[in-house]
């Protein structure tokens, strides 16, 4: 029996059909819920290591940091649980995990969706990390431990001196004064619009008014300051919050989505920069009034 090999046209047709099917399959999760298009975010190794430690210590499933058949998470959880806090502190565990990721050259990792890792979200790991696994090699109170800790402190001091010598700056990715809305903020407004049926039409209309207002005030020095503040806050690898009773920023426990946060911050700032452009006492047509919009943003 002779098997007929497919021609070039037929092979291309089969490939395109498979490509389309793969795209459809990857766009839903195990529960049949739609997943957003592939997105890329940036996080520091220390932040990721802190999250891994938190997940392992919670006693819950570690599906948010490891695949179903991975063994490293279970081994590491057992090691942490059976090691006293006096021998190895939480900070040492976190620094060791971050240092191991850097030592192994791990620069990318899958993100999470609904508590599970997914290839539809990509996380780029940045920043340096000091590996404290050598510190754990010596017994607490021993001369070996004291000597290793002294060397680690000396090396850490050298790294700190180098960091201080560098000129710290944030690259906004565009020229100042701003002549167009930065990509990060445009993406945030686009993601708000793409929510579709998840939010009301009045909320979407409010965001649309904010975007139009922002485009109109480009060139105003106050608008430049507004955009620089938003881009600076959203450049943090952790979501920043000001807790009740405090007067400084601190890392939030809520997930960080810099694009969506940028859209919300810009909208809030425009309420005061261009107060007359937004409805306050009652809705205007399909545009939700500001007091109700505040409640929607808080959810």
* pLDDT per residue as tens digits for the range 13-48: 665 655 555 555 455 554 455 555 567 778 888 888
d(C-alpha 123, C-alpha 109), whole Å: 5
**What end-to-end distance do the CA atoms of the chain give, in Å?**
65
Average pLDDT over residues 285-292: 86
Which pLDDT does position 1 carry in this prediction? 47
Average pLDDT, the chain: 77
Q: Residue 20 has what pLDDT?
A: 54
The helix or strand, by DSSP H or E, that contains position 121, with its residue range, turns out to be strand 116-126
Check residue 239 and give its pLDDT.
77
State the chain's maximal CA–CA distance in angstroms.
Answer: 82
* Residue 115 Ramachandran class (φ > 0 left, ψ -120 to 50 alpha, else beta): left
Query: Cis peptide leading into 177, omega within 30 of 0?
Result: yes
List phi, psi (to 5°) of 247. Answer: -125, 30
The mean per-residue pLDDT over the stretch 122-135 comes to: 65
Beta carbons within 8 Å of 183's beta carbon, 6+ residues apart: 173, 174
What would the pLDDT profile of 49-83 be if each residue is shown by its tens digit? Answer: 888 888 888 877 778 888 878 888 888 888 888 88
CA distances from 253 to 97, 118, 240, 270 (A): 20, 21, 9, 27
Q: Residue 106 pLDDT > 70, yes or no? A: yes
According to the model, what pLDDT value does residue 266 have? 92
Is the pTM of the predicted complex or chain greater than 0.75?
Answer: no
Half-sphere exposure of 72 (CA within 13 A, CB side): 8
d(CA 79, CA 33): 36
Of 57-66, 165-174, 177-186, which one has max mean pLDDT? 177-186
Q: Which helix (H) or strand (E) holds 34?
A: none
Task: Give the pLDDT confidence score for residue 296 in this predicted structure.
Answer: 81
Question: In the prediction, which pLDDT does 47 show?
Answer: 85
- Give 116's pLDDT tier (boundaries 50, 70, 90): confident
Q: pLDDT tens digit string along 228-280?
A: 988 888 887 777 777 778 787 777 777 778 888 888 999 999 999 888 889 88
Which is more confident, 119 or 138? 119
More confident residue, 147 or 5: 147
Q: Tell me: pLDDT of 158 over 70.
A: no
Question: Residue 135: pLDDT band by 50, 70, 90 thresholds?
Answer: very low
Residue 160 CB partners (closer than 8 Å, separation 6+): none
Distance between CA atoms of 86 and 107, rounded to whole angstroms?
32
- pLDDT at residue number 45: 85
* 164 has a pLDDT exceeding 70: no
The answer to whether the Cα torsion of 216, 221, 222, 226 is positive or negative is: positive
pLDDT at 109 over 50: yes
């Amino acid at each position: 029996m002779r098997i007929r090999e497919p021609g070039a046209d037929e092979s291309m047709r089969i490939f395109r059909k498979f490509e389309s099917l793969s795209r459809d399959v990857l766009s839903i999760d195990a529960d049949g819920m739609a997943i957003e298009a592939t997105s890329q975010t940036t996080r520091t190794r220390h932040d990721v290591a802190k999250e891994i430690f938190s997940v392992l210590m919670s006693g819950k499933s570690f599906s948010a940091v490891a695949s179903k058949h991975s063994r490293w998470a279970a081994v590491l959880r057992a090691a942490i649980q059976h090691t006293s806090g006096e021998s190895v502190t939480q900070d040492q565990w976190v620094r060791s995990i971050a240092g191991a990721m850097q030592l192994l050259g791990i620069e990318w990792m899958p993100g999470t969706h609904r508590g599970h890792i997914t290839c539809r979200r990509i996380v780029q790991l940045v920043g340096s990390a000091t590996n404290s696994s050598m510190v754990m090699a010596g017994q607490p109170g021993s001369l070996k431990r004291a000597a290793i800790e002294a060397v680690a402190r000396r090396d850490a001091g050298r790294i700190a001196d180098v960091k201080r010598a560098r000129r710290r700056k944030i690259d906004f990715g565009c020229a100042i004064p701003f002549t167009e809305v930065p990509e990060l903020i445009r993406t945030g407004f686009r993601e708000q619009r793409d929510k579709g049926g998840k939010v009301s039409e009045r909320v979407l209309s409010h965001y649309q008014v904010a975007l139009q207002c922002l485009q109109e005030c480009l060139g105003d020095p106050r608008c430049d300051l507004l955009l620089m503040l938003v881009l600076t806050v959203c450049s943090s690898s952790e979501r920043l919050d000001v807790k009740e009773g405090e007067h400084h920023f601190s890392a939030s426990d809520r997930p960080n989505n810099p694009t969506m946060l940028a859209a919300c911050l810009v909208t809030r700032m425009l309420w005061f920069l261009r107060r007359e452009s937004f409805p306050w006492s009652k809705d205007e047509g399909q545009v939700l009034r500001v007091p109700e919009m505040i409640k929607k943003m808080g959810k």
